[in-house]
Chain A
Amino acid sequence: EAQVTQNPRYLITVTGKKLTVTCSQNMNHEYMSWYRQDPGLGLRQIYYSMNVEVTDKGDVPEGYKVSRKEKRNFPLILESPSPNQTSLYFCASSLSRFGEQPQHFGDGTRLSIL
């Protein structure tokens, strides 16, 4: 089944403890992206990747890192998480990096930073 898989789905952790949220897609998609969603707000883009080894900042990149060493994986790294990064996170992928194909979203990861 074609899908975008995020892990973990839920995580409660403490301030300063490094964590990684994984994202994997099995559709050979070029483009991948991370979003966060806070209560009452739409999705805000954190980082995106146009292809392997090509990443760039979205609208809210502070406090996050990403890497794209393989086409299928696009992990989101929080080196020193803080409570303001408590949020619902979504990973998305798209067949083309040129914007003419839709994004497919994962089921989300709910992070709580205490």
Chain B
Amino acid sequence: DAKTTQPPSMDCAEGRAANLPCNHSTISGNEYVYWYRQIHSQGPQYIIHGLKNNETNEMASLIITEDRKSSTLILPHATLRDTAVYYCIVRVAGTNAGKSTFGDGTTLTVKP
């Protein structure tokens, strides 16, 4: 699986949009970009994923650049409960999809 690079930490004001970047410059054509978050030591929670196109769901939006080498997770109106560690991972699709590698993630702190 391709390696991802994320900033170690970010702050965001409550009510503002939080934009979390992820670099995955070695991504292959059959690799999905996934975002998860972990609040304290709870189990990671799935947020969103995509292959090529931008995606939106009730939690967030995922913007993937045209060359697929980077992506941005957007939380449109951050709340204090969005304070968490956010993990961006890439995962190959197909018969070799077993391995899954998480990096160190970005600690997002939402401030009042």
Q: List A residues at the B interface (Cβ < 8 Å).
A: 4, 31, 33, 35, 37, 41-45, 48, 50, 56, 58-59, 88, 90, 92, 97-100, 102-108, 110
The answer, among B43, B91, B102, for a CB contact under 8 Å with A42, is: B102
The answer, among A43, A59, A98, for a CB contact under 8 Å with B97, is: A98
Q: Which of chain A's residues has its CB closest to B90's CB?
A: A99
CA distance A88 to B43 in the complex (A): 10
Whether A58 pairs with B99 at a CB distance below 8 angstroms is: yes
Q: Is the interface of A mostly helix, strand, loop or mixed?
A: strand
Size range of the chain B interface in the assembly: 20 to 34
The answer, among A45, A88, A98, A108, for a CB contact under 8 Å with B100, is: A45
Q: How far is the CB of A99 from chain B (nearest CB, A)?
A: 3
Whether B98 pairs with A97 at a CB distance below 8 angstroms is: yes
Whether A99 pairs with B43 at a CB distance below 8 angstroms is: no
Q: How far is the CB of A102 from chain B (nearest CB, A)?
A: 4
Interface centre among A58, A102, A108 (most CB of B within 10 A): A102
Interface centre among B51, B87, B97, B101 (most CB of A within 10 A): B97
The residues of B that contact A50 with a CB separation of less than 8 Å are: 97-98
Whether B100 pairs with A103 at a CB distance below 8 angstroms is: yes
CA distance A104 to B100 in the complex (A): 13
Whether B105 pairs with A42 at a CB distance below 8 angstroms is: yes
Knowing A42-B105, A104-B46, A107-B42, the reply to whether A48 touches B95 (Cβ < 8 A) is no
Closest A-B pairs by Cβ, 10 of them: A99-B97, A105-B43, A102-B46, A42-B102, A43-B102, A99-B93, A48-B98, A99-B91, A105-B44, A100-B93
Is residue B104 within 8 Å, beta carbon to beta carbon, of the partner chain?
yes
Whether A98 pairs with B94 at a CB distance below 8 angstroms is: yes
Interface centre among B36, B100, B105 (most CB of A within 10 A): B100
Whether B98 pairs with A106 at a CB distance below 8 angstroms is: no
